[in-house]
Structure 1
């Protein structure tokens, strides 16, 4: 049957590359990369004394280099800090698709930023994404996800942050992420319960592409929508792992065609080529096909 791990929207998020906003050389290369989106980082990758310069870099970039359909997410510092307050203002001026909050641990972390955006007359299309990267964040994932119903649908998704989670839990970085999987599945369950996107954590060793590809396949099997990346070398493997495959697409098209047949009118369950399929499968099938079409149409500028 159709691979139902995909999210409720047709927007592909197979590969979200994290880019330090302070790195102008990296910013200049983005147009050549086949990413589904970019996370422009003003937080961990930018030293305190470089924050203003990083904000200026983003202002220049967003003014002069449209991303042509790719998603733009700006990760800010905590709004409890002066840096975070400045980041919010800078982000609003850039008009990204979403603002990513670090180390979210409770619903009020979402509510506080949603209130700031409302006071700033930010458009409804501007979403809030939450980094889940601490033990408290994992434990409270369901309550945080529920904030999507109390913030005017501002909350759009979760991004897992394993570096901080490993540090705080003292779980070592091991292949297979054996001892982290139960926590990851807990956050995935919370996201799916409330219809949120969820992006898998970065993989730090960008030179071991075989290990990275295996982690992408694991993430897809677990139900993630895509992967947060730290290096362009990781883009191809993430796109391949999280893309709709040909078998799933063929099945999706069969489901759509079967229910478009006039003989299926009024039926919620039909027999299609010896398989029983339900009308509830049509929506995911249509999203899968739409996502594949978006990916196929996107053209990446050549260097």
Structure 2
């Protein structure tokens, strides 16, 4: 049963901070994953923080079972030792049916709750998963005097989660957004691929045969993730939260990674995961609006200050619908410019 509008924004524990009414305005072009159990990674953190929009301490997949507690302690140490400034501090905790989740949340909120921005929750299947973490976080925030609400970011990586995506997006005012988790989702759906994101050479269509039946027919590879990304983007946009593409596993194939990131950006995603420092620069490039697009969008807004009427700009007709498109691009460019001086110069802000 849904809560009444008044109840929806009430804290779930006495003394917990009031939930956000609107998402904090932050540029989050990439969520950069780090393994916090490795001391050599923690030692580089001060240099890495200024390069990324979000630093995420990973406690779940890719962390061996015998290193789970070390990863948790390492993340807390990392949080205490560094000033993150405008860079977001996130963690991906272990899944709800694991033996580590409860200690992940309780120990981290107790130690660095006032520094932590977002908890990424894996394998979310329905509102019940969000409601559990929502209540637990409120209790811990109240207990430890946390001053701002810790947000929840859901990973969409099971068939049931995709089925329930609209309800998940609206489950709590803590919802920050969602990410597509292609590897676990592929397994959940029994998809026949071992790739982590990206296309597959066997997922394709053929052009119609030509006059000569023996001539080669053009082959076009299709996007395995188009439907799911579109469904996730719609759910997030309707709830006022952010959609993200998740990991691209082939770290060496930057060209294919860029294409996957760009597809997600064009469809409405705010950012993507980066698994290696070379993907940070790629995400900045892709998820920052193109300077030429920004310049053209600025022309539209200048020609139609109140968004009404019709204008001809560079031979193209613009109306209230294209004004809205232009505003999306310029608003994002202003946010990127405020975070990144190099892009401020490119955009002329």
Instruction: Tell whether the 8 Å contact from 1:135 to 1:169 is kept in structure 2 after alignment.
Output: yes
* Distance of 2:124 and 2:265 partners within structure 1: 24
Instruction: Report whether the alignment pairs 1:238 with 2:283.
Output: yes
**CA spacing shift, 1:187–1:297, aligned 2, 3 Å:** same
Instruction: Tell whether the 8 Å contact from 2:153 to 2:178 is kept in structure 1 after alignment.
Output: yes
Aligned to 2:341: 297
Rg larger for: 2
Aligned to 2:54: 37
Instruction: Tell whether the 8 Å contact from 2:156 to 2:180 is kept in structure 1 after alignment.
Output: yes
Instruction: Tell whether the 8 Å contact from 1:40 to 1:74 is kept in structure 2 after alignment.
Output: yes
Instruction: Tell whether the 8 Å contact from 1:10 to 1:288 is kept in structure 2 after alignment.
Output: no
Out of 88, 93, 105, the position equivalent to 1:76 is 93
**CA spacing shift, 1:235–1:281, aligned 2, 3 Å:** closer
- TM-score, normalization: structure 1? 0.84
**CA spacing shift, 1:242–1:52, aligned 2, 3 Å:** same
**CA spacing shift, 1:157–1:130, aligned 2, 3 Å:** same
Instruction: Report whether the alignment pairs 1:56 with 2:73.
Output: yes
- TM-score, normalization: structure 2? 0.73
Q: Secondary structure at the match of 1:269?
A: coil
* Distance of 2:338 and 2:246 partners within structure 1: 24
Aligned to 2:15: none
**CA spacing shift, 1:124–1:107, aligned 2, 3 Å:** farther
Instruction: Report whether the alignment pairs 1:269 with 2:308.
Output: yes
1:52-131 mapped onto 2 (5 Å cutoff): 52-92=69-109, 93-94=111-112, 95-120=115-140, 121=142, 122-131=146-155
Instruction: Tell whether the 8 Å contact from 1:158 to 1:199 is kept in structure 2 after alignment.
Output: yes
Q: With a CA cutoff of 8 Å and minimum separation of 6, indicate the structure with the bigger relative contact order.
A: 1
Q: Secondary structure at the match of 1:67?
A: coil
Equivalent residue pairs, number: 283
1:215-268 residue CA offsets vs partner (Å, 9 max, x unmatched):
112222222111111111211111111112112322343345446xxxx5xx55
Instruction: Report whether the alignment pairs 1:288 with 2:332.
Output: yes
Instruction: Tell whether the 8 Å contact from 1:21 to 1:58 is kept in structure 2 after alignment.
Output: yes
**CA spacing shift, 1:9–1:115, aligned 2, 3 Å:** closer
Aligned to 1:248: 293
Aligned to 1:5: none
Aligned to 2:240: 195
Aligned to 2:265: 220
Unaligned runs of 5+ in 2: 1-22, 202-220, 344-349
